[in-house]
Amino acid sequence: MKASRIAAAAAVAGSAVLALSAPAFAHVSVQAEGTAAKGGYAVVDFKVPNERDNASTTKLEVTFPTDHPLASAMPEPINGWDVKVTKSKLDKPLELHGEKITEAVSKITWTATGDGIKAGFFQKFPISIGALPEDADELVFKAIQTYSNKEVVRWIEVQEDGAEEPENPAPVLELSAASEDGHSHGSSTAEDASAGTDDAKAAASSSTEAAASADSSDTTARVLAVAGIAVGVAGVAYGVTAGRRRGADSNA
pLDDT at res. 21: 39
pLDDT grade, residue 244 (50/70/90)? low
Task: Output the CA torsion 239→244→245→249 (10° steps).
Answer: 140
pLDDT at res. 178: 85
Contact present, 65 and 48 (Cβ < 8 Å): no
Across the chain, which distance is largest between two alpha carbons, in Å? 131
Give residue 9's identity as a one-letter amino acid code.
A
Contact present, 38 and 178 (Cβ < 8 Å): yes
Mean per-residue pLDDT for 204-232?
A: 47
pLDDT grade, residue 236 (50/70/90)? very low
CA 111 to chain centre: 26
% the chain with pLDDT above 90: 51
pLDDT at res. 73: 95
Residue pLDDT, tens place only, 26-43: 799 999 999 999 999 999
pLDDT over threshold 80, residue 84: yes
% the chain with pLDDT above 70: 61
| Strand 29-32 relative to strand 172-174, pairing | unpaired
pLDDT at res. 171: 97
pLDDT at res. 6: 52
pLDDT at res. 93: 82
Is residue 212 reached through a cis peptide bond, with omega within 30 degrees of 0 on the bond before it?
A: no
Contact present, 46 and 125 (Cβ < 8 Å): yes
| DSSP tag of 54 | S
pLDDT over threshold 60, residue 120: yes
Mean per-residue pLDDT for 121-133?
A: 96
